[in-house]
Every structure is written in structure tokens, then in C-alpha cells.
Structure 1
Amino acid sequence: MCGPFTQRYTWAEVREFLSVIGAPLNLRPRFNIAPTTTIDVVRLDVEGQRELVRMRWGLVPGWWSKPLKYVPATFNARAETVAEKPMFWNAFKARRCIIPASGFYEWTGEKGAKVPHLFSAADGSPVLAFAGLWDRWKSPEGEEILSATIIVSGASAWMTPYHDRMPVLLMSEQFDAWLSGEAGPDALRPAAESALREWIVSARVNKTGQGADDPSLVEPVAA
């Protein structure tokens, strides 16, 4: 799975890595992003250019007819079934996106003594590119909500000691094919063994939604 993650890059960094167009945005670093909160998402605009848009993390399909509170957990979509599951298949066909991230967390250890690990780009890049989907939904009250999900695959051998799932990381040469819809499910593979690095961070990360603005959360701590 991909639970809490970080988005802590500048506008210049995300623009350079993802070739985003538009006026510069004041991007606030976030260090412990929880599902159902707002995240940065890169999608194609009506002219086929990449734009950065803010969306709810947890996809709500356009056909959903119940109130928002009844939407199941859709912050992740499994790569093996994303093209077939009713919650995701329309978005898979027509509304791809890339979710920029600086890192993501996973835990090891027993219940009550979980140790959080932060994973980021092995080369020190401030931006990773998660494969994602987005959709547009209108509530019964008429409110329009944009939402997105992160696609996860089985873990690589390197990742397996920490978790059996991991977010699908896209390389720059895959961006166009993914966003256009040309890339199929076979593109959703585990990241290369050399793509990520890992370190242990503060147990304060265990409190979902706490310290989202606290940069010390991502600093290495002793095991």
C-alpha cells in the first residue's frame, strides 16, 4: 500500500521534473499527508499540456450516487485490477495522472511498537512520480470535487522486508505514454531495486495527520 507520504518540493523543482505549465504556485511543504486530505496532482489540461491541480486523496468515481462519507477507501488502487474494478476502470481509460511525491512511509515491527521508515529517491531527487488516476464527481448538493488515487503494485525484492506493496514509480520516459492512456496495465511494475533509499524516522509519524507541517518528521533517527 501507499499510506502517508510527503510532498516537499518547490515549484521550480516540480516544474522541471514534470514539465508542468502555468503560473508559479506557492507550494507548502507537507511531511505527513493522510488520505482524504488535499494533494498536488499533475494531469493533462484540455490542450494536452501538463498542469498541477489540487485534489482530494481518495478517488470518488463520477458515477457515485451516495454522500461522500460512504465512499470506501480508494486512496490506493491495485495495479493488478485497476483496469477492471468498477471504482477505477473509467478513470484508468480516460483520466490518468501523476502524483508528485518526495517520499512515502512504511512500518515494520509488532503492533504497539511500529517503526516508521521513510523511502525517497536514491539519487536525492526531491520529486518522485507516482502513477495515479483522477476523477470528477458532483455531490448531491451540487459541489464538484476532483479526487485522485495512487496505484500500487507488488513490492520489489528490496522493498519486501518493509511491505508487500509499493507505489508504482514512473520514470520520465514513461510520463507521456501514461498520461495519454497509451500505456497499459503492463506498465505498472515495481520500481527498480536501485530506485529508492530508506531510513528510520520519528515515531510521531505514527499519528496520522499529525505534524504535517513539521520538517523534523523526515529526519533520520537511531533504530
Structure 2
Amino acid sequence: MCGRFTQHLSWEELQRLADLIGQPRNLAPRYNIAPTTQIEVIRPTAAGNELVPMRWGLAPSWWKKPLGALPATFNARAETVAEKPMFRSAFKSRRCVIPASGFYEWTGKPGAKTPHYFSSPDGRLLALAALWESWRDPESDAKVDSATIIVGPANEWMQRFHNRMPVILDWRDVSAWMTGDDPGTLLRPALEDALQEWVVSSRVNRSGVADDDPALILPVA
């Protein structure tokens, strides 16, 4: 799974990697992103790729209850994403990418879990395969765009830490993922050398995201 990640993003880097359109934005760094909070998402449009804020936790257009009644939809399983009612429509026509500086995973027993941080060895942003949807609140009629990260089986390297991992795309495959005719072929484990890892502060273990600072991703002994 992927339950916490980071986005300390540069508009210039994203524009280079994803050919963004639109006016440049100052993007506030985020070091402890949790589900249901706002994230930055790259999605295709007729004019080109745009960067838009969305809720992390997908709400399908047909959902009639309040968002608080949604099950956990911040991750979608690669093996079933094309068939599950919650995700299949978005998989067919609303695929996107969530740029991430890195993500967290935990090892150990409940109550004494050790947080690990994972990022690209060369410092490049990760392109996480994702889906997006638009939903309207049945009471206020407010529109909410939301997204989910697709996760699949871990590669051999990652299995030391967890049996699941986000689907990490090569930036050269982003267009094929978002607009291509055969996206399922890209839902595969990352290459064995795609990530690096180190142990980080147990402050990440706290419930909520009150702590959100660069020290969270620094290695600890």
C-alpha cells in the first residue's frame, strides 16, 4: 500500500518531465501527506497536461453519500482496478499521474513500527500511476476532484519492507499511461534499482499530519 508520501515539487522540473501547460505556480512543499488531504495531480486535457489539486481518496461520480462515508480509496489494486466498480470507469478514461518526491512504509510490530523513506536514487521525482474522478456533493452541489494511487505486488528489492508498492512509471511512459489504448501493460513492478531507502524519524508514526517539515525525511541512525 501507499498511505503517506511527500511532494516537494518544482514547477520547472514538472514542466520538463510532463510538458505542463498553464501558468507556473508556487508549490508549497509537503513532507507528510495523508489520505483525504489535498495533493497535486497531473492529468491530460485536450490542450496538454495540467497540474491540479485534488483530494487524495477517490470518490466516483455515482457516489451518493457524504465523503466521510467512503471506504478507503486512497489506493487501488493493480490486479483488480479494471474490474472494481469503484475504479473501473476511471481506469478506462481518467488516468493520471501523481508526482511524488518519495513515500513512507513501515516495518516491525504494531506499537513499535519503524518508518522507512523511499525515493529515487538520482533525486528525480517519482511518477506514480493514478486515477482521478469528479464528484458532486449531493447537498451543496460542490464539485470535488479526487485521485487514488495504484499499488501492485512489490518487486524483489521492496519485499524486504512490504509486499506491496506503488506502480512507478518511467516518465517516458506517462503519456502512454494517461492516454494510451493499453494501460494495463504498464501496471508492473518497478525495476529493482528504482528506489533507495533509509530509516526516518518516528514522528511520522503519529496519527494525523501535524508534523510536516523537511526533517521528517532525514536519515536517522
TM-score (norm 1): 0.96
Mapped partners of 1:9, 1:95: distance in 2: 23
Among all aligned residue pairs of Structure 1 and Structure 2, give the percentage whose two residues are the same amino acid.
59
1:8 correspondence with 2:8: yes
Residue 46 of structure 1 aligns with an amino acid whose one-letter code is A
**Map of 2:102 onto structure 1:** 103
Following TM superposition, the consecutive aligned residue runs of length 4 or more in structure 1 with deviations greater than 4 angstroms are none
Count, aligned residues? 220
**Map of 1:168 onto structure 2:** 167
**Map of 2:26 onto structure 1:** 26
Cα drift, residue 207 of structure 1 = 1.4
Mapped partners of 2:57, 2:180: distance in 1: 21
Once superposed, what is the RMSD of the aligned Cα atoms? 1.1
Describe the SS at the equivalent of 1:92: helix
The aligned runs of 1:123-202 (5 Å cut-off) are 123-125=122-124, 127-141=125-139, 142-202=141-201
**Map of 2:112 onto structure 1:** 113
Describe the SS at the equivalent of 2:173: helix
Describe the SS at the equivalent of 1:146: strand
Residue 12 of structure 2 aligns with an amino acid whose one-letter code is A
Mapped partners of 1:212, 1:36: distance in 2: 16
Mapped partners of 2:179, 2:201: distance in 1: 39
Mapped partners of 2:87, 2:154: distance in 1: 21
Kept in 2: contact 1:32–1:208 (CA 8 A): no
Describe the SS at the equivalent of 1:60: coil
**Map of 2:35 onto structure 1:** 35
Gaps of 5+ in 2: none
Mapped partners of 1:189, 1:53: distance in 2: 26
TM-score (norm 2): 0.96
Kept in 2: contact 1:168–1:190 (CA 8 A): yes
Deviates more, 1:10-19 or 1:57-66: 10-19
Cα drift, residue 186 of structure 1 = 2.6
Mapped partners of 1:53, 1:167: distance in 2: 20
Cα drift, residue 185 of structure 1 = 1.8
Mapped partners of 1:54, 1:67: distance in 2: 20
1:53 correspondence with 2:82: no
Kept in 2: contact 1:21–1:51 (CA 8 A): yes
The aligned runs of 1:86-97 (5 Å cut-off) are 86-97=85-96
Cα drift, residue 67 of structure 1 = 1.4
- CA distance 1:218–1:136, shift in 2 (3 Å): same
Cα drift, residue 19 of structure 1 = 1.5
Gaps of 5+ in 1: none
Mapped partners of 1:181, 1:72: distance in 2: 29
Q: Deviations 1:70-104 (Å, cap 9, x if unpaired)?
A: 11100000000000000000000110000000000
Mapped partners of 1:38, 1:164: distance in 2: 27
Residue 2 of structure 2 aligns with an amino acid whose one-letter code is C
Mapped partners of 1:36, 1:199: distance in 2: 26
Cα drift, residue 211 of structure 1 = 4.4
